[in-house]
Amino acid sequence: MSRRHYSALILGTAALCAPLLGACSSSSSTAGGSSAVSAAPVTLTFWGTYGNGGNKTQTDALNNTIIPAFEKANPGIKIEYVDIPYDSMLQKLTTGAAGGTLPDLVRADLGWVPKLGALGVFAPLDQKMSDYQTLAGADYPGTVATNLFGGHYYGLPLDTNTRVLISNPDALKAAGIAAPPATFDDLRADAPKLKAEKVSVFADSGLQGWNVYPWIWSAGGSVTNSDQTKATGYLNSAASVQGVQLLVDLYKAGAIPNLLTGDKGATQTSDGLPKGQYADILDGPWMTGIWSGQYPSFKPVYSPVPAGPGGSVSVTGGEDVVMTSASAHQDAAEKFIRFTQSSTYQLAMAATGQMSVVSALGDQEAAAAPGLAPFIKQLATAKPRPSVPQAPQIDTVLADDLTPAFTGGTTVQAALDKAAADIDPLLTATR
């Protein structure tokens, strides 16, 4: 989901692997991996976090519109939706797997899918569903990739989000800047003009992947090889260095505040942008609602991530829909998973603020919610963070190893060399 929701995965692999696999092996599915739907009515249990933070709009859409539409189209299959607080969901999945009390379906944060898929908790949908590739082919590639680990896809995208450049037009105008920066060069050129007005050209709240990957990718760099087994030669390539170097140069010039390197006392981007302390930030579609309440007169401008040699590339967030290996009704569960990819499901949820993962629905989505248009455009090139169980540890490595490049202790090349070397063993730890 958002950076706040890309939290640490707290499962102990060694301690849990045996009971998890034991629980999953108790499934009543057939040898082919999918039990036939009984002639008798079946009830599928679906765990999700749609009501997180008291979001009644989303749970109402699910319970009053989406589920009734599915049940009408699929007589004999009932959906029992169980809403679980986001902060409790991972622990509930962990204990449920160990105790053999898992649901049939889960709306899972994309950061959980590799870990639990690797442990056998989630079924590999690319093996279970004969039409998996057709369904996945209709979604944004960056959202599909969040389900990949160890050569298999354990889910399908359910909803998504991304980050775009959000600018304060008044701050830009005061510095004589007509439009938000469209390129790396524009950002560099804007920095001294804004500094003269005591405004930072850019601000962000950390050096984790959510924050730095858009700059690396837009510079033409990469994080790992295609099968996510090696960072050396990729994260520390010349192109990747160029993306981080842009931020380091601006930071050392006093054009980016030390919020980037962890100063908890610095003004947060959600306040600094509307107050005119920062000219540009990267953030997601949820900010519109935040600012409408806290800063009702603020009218930000949304535009693509500034383009470098690799184009304009941002990062993918969101949730995936998965089927547990322990489900006794896998054929029925597959039917509901297919339904989540339909316009009925996707557009109903888009109306509540959940961005659609189906690229062909982008125009309808933007027509219904024009504020999402910049994010829909950015999703065409957005990429996922590494979909590996050790993703949280990778974020820690990045923050720890990159900070000295900003604060003067080392070069960007040396910092990325160290980060790549530290990340390499994390990528192969559970393979």
Query: Does 217 map to a domain?
Result: yes
Residues 240 and 194 in one domain: yes
> Which among 160, 154, 156 is positioned nearest to 383, based on CA atoms?
160
Q: What total number of domains does the chain contain?
A: 2
Residues 158 and 68 in one domain: yes
d(CA 83, CA 219): 41
Task: Give pLDDT, residue 264.
Answer: 84
Q: What is Dmax (Cα atoms) for the chain?
A: 74
Residues 263 and 277 in one domain: yes
Residues 142 and 196 in one domain: no
Q: What is the pLDDT of residues 358-385, one digit of tens each?
A: 999 999 999 988 999 999 999 999 999 9
Residues 145 and 125 in one domain: yes
d(CA 209, CA 234): 14
Q: Is 227 exposed, middle or buried (0-12, 13-18, 19+ CB in 10 A)?
A: exposed
Query: Which ranges of the chain have pLDDT less than 70?
Result: 1-39, 53-54, 430-431
Q: What is the CA radius of gyration of the chain?
A: 22
Task: Give pLDDT, residue 430.
Answer: 63
Q: Give the other-Cβ count within 10 Å of 174's Cβ.
A: 16
Strands, E assignment, 268-426: 280-283, 301-303, 316-323
Helix axes 86-99, 13-24, angle to 10 degrees: 60
Look up the domain containing 262 and give its range. 164-314+390-427
Query: Does 384 map to a domain?
Result: no
Residues 256 and 108 in one domain: no
Contact status, residue 132 vs residue 154, Cβ threshold 8 Å: no
Q: How many helices (H) and strands (E) does the chain have?
A: 20, 10
d(CA 51, CA 70): 20
Residues 286 and 173 in one domain: yes
Q: What is the pLDDT of residues 157-202, one digit of tens each?
A: 999 999 999 999 999 999 999 999 999 999 999 999 999 999 999 9
Residues 15 and 67 in one domain: yes
d(CA 237, CA 251): 21
What is the pTM (predicted TM-score) of this model?
Answer: 0.87
Query: Does 345 map to a domain?
Result: yes
Percent of the residues in the chain that have a pLDDT greater than 90, as a whole number: 83
Contact status, residue 346 vs residue 319, Cβ threshold 8 Å: no
Task: Give pLDDT, residue 39.
Answer: 56
278: left (phi over 0), alpha (psi -120 to 50) or beta: beta
Q: What's the distance, Cα to Cα, between the start and end of the chain in Å? A: 25
Residues 370 and 410 in one domain: no
Residues 304 and 423 in one domain: yes
* CATH for 97: 3.40.190.10
Query: Does 385 map to a domain?
Result: no
> Which among 7, 21, 12 is positioned nearest to 326, based on CA atoms?
21
Residues 288 and 374 in one domain: no
- Alpha-helical (H) ranges within 32-150 are 56-61, 67-73, 86-99, 113-118, 125-128, 132-137, 141-144
Residues 193 and 239 in one domain: yes
Query: Does 76 map to a domain?
Result: yes
